[in-house]
Structure 1
């Protein structure tokens, strides 16, 4: 479905860049909300308006949603930085956007969370995201919650470990997931803009084990396969130690990674991009 005006928050991020491209290709009029306009270059200006604002500062968002039909927010952080917390960004910044959307009569608000966020609400990353999900559902606006599996970009961690010569896994390594490319996820989101009050859980076309992903990371770099499998109790001990002795800034992203990597996380498969091809392309940049 094509809306006359779409506000895209987080247009310069990994997913945001693919969303911007997909929206413009489908001839949607897009207002890209960015902190640094210089990061958006070589975009078809016939369908694009760039507005500079900071979602963590409500005053900069005043009337930002006037004339907007749908808001798509990819706003969120994996690692806390610049003094901002998950609550500052994943929750409050999105609340700021939601407030403006309600004031301006926006028809539809699309929010990108993550797979199984509703099941792992105790994780610091998900705590803030799911608080916003609750607020969005109670807002009275039409909504879509998108819960993607891990992005291909998140899978670079396996490439980095393989580059160092060893990949560490907990347990058998047979835990399965189907990570998704940003391009494929953008297509899912844009193709579902006409569907309201729903939740979409989506992953890539290939369901892969952690063992397979690790081997693919070594193979892409022509390195000998060296996977070290650690007992799961050690994973639990690391989690306990991090929560006990470090700040949420340190343990938040590690808690997320270690928790989701301990079990299967398989979503509805979609797309044409394959992780093996992504790894081969990334290896050329290493």
Structure 2
């Protein structure tokens, strides 16, 4: 049976990937500090990767501060790659972000770019799945842009995706052949960021006013109109934001 180790396997995406792979009859092993495996320190890594054919890295930094986030992704990825090589892993899969190489001013995107480069240069067969922002984090965009009860956002385009669809894309990559490159996944429709948040707040009965401000950033980072959109050939999911939001509210 194929053994797939999912690093970050107890988080939002990781837990869904583990469940999806298990439903396919595969041995999916969640690896995280909760299970005694720490990619940052190396604790438990060698044992976790023993006899693994595939490693899936969906871990994320607990801090987005510039030095901390860079240290997390470069240190953990370097350790993971080394242990994967030592274990004879045949396929290294990592989750990244659409637009990573277009936002050099963002410390988080800088760190994800560094991670991608380490993987590509490792000599291991690999697949990088870049996803757009998750529906689950739309509220965080609104909160980060709120000052004195007003949400100030640019009209730059964004094409968010449900986390379930991201997990399925990562699972597909894990059971498929390495592409030795990048695959992008996104939701079915683009929105102006201001429009997306306005829709979100309206459907939730949130009274905050959304003001369109072209100079406003994305978590403090300036955007061009298409900085966060996938390129040609991206895989588009079918789950629409409004349908997902209404289902979530009912749940």
Q: TM-score, normalised by structure 2?
A: 0.84
State the partner residue of 1:273: 239
Report the secondary structure of 2:167's partner residue: helix
Q: Which moved more, 1:148-157 or 1:210-219?
A: 210-219
2:45 pairs with one of 52, 58, 61: 61
1:98 paired to 2:85 = no
- Larger Rg, first or second structure (1 or 2): 1
Q: Output the CA distance in 2 between the equivalents of 1:94 and 1:36.
A: 19
State the partner residue of 2:225: 263
Q: 1:230 to 1:120 in 2, by over 3 A?
A: closer
Q: 1:78 to 1:34 in 2, by over 3 A?
A: closer
State the partner residue of 2:190: 207
**Following superposition of structure 1 onto structure 2, how do residues 145-160 of structure 1 map, counting pairs within 5 Å?**
145-158=128-141, 160=143
When the two chains are superposed, the root-mean-square deviation of aligned CA atoms in Å is 2.8
Structure 1: tracts of 5 or more residues without a match:
38-51, 237-252
Cα deviation per residue 1:175-214 (whole Å; 9 max; x = unaligned)? 2221111111111122233231121111111222223312
Shift of 1:8: 0.1
Q: Output the CA distance in 2 between the equivalents of 1:14 and 1:59.
A: 22
Cα deviation per residue 1:127-174 (whole Å; 9 max; x = unaligned)? 222222212112111001111111112212256579x8633123xx2x
Q: Output the CA distance in 2 between the equivalents of 1:208 and 1:183.
A: 20
Q: Output the CA distance in 2 between the equivalents of 1:130 and 1:64.
A: 26
Cα deviation per residue 1:7-61 (whole Å; 9 max; x = unaligned)? 0000121211221121111111011102124xxxxxxxxxxxxxx2111112432
Q: Is the 8 A contact 1:5 1:67 kept in 2?
A: yes
Q: Is the 8 A contact 1:56 1:92 kept in 2?
A: yes
Report the secondary structure of 2:127's partner residue: strand
Q: Which moved more, 1:211-220 or 1:20-29?
A: 211-220
1:176 paired to 2:160 = no
**Following superposition of structure 1 onto structure 2, how do residues 10-159 of structure 1 map, counting pairs within 5 Å?**
10-37=8-35, 52-77=36-61, 79-80=63-64, 85-158=68-141
Q: 1:215 to 1:141 in 2, by over 3 A?
A: same
Structure 2: tracts of 5 or more residues without a match:
none
Work out the number of aligned pairs and report it: 243
State the partner residue of 1:249: none
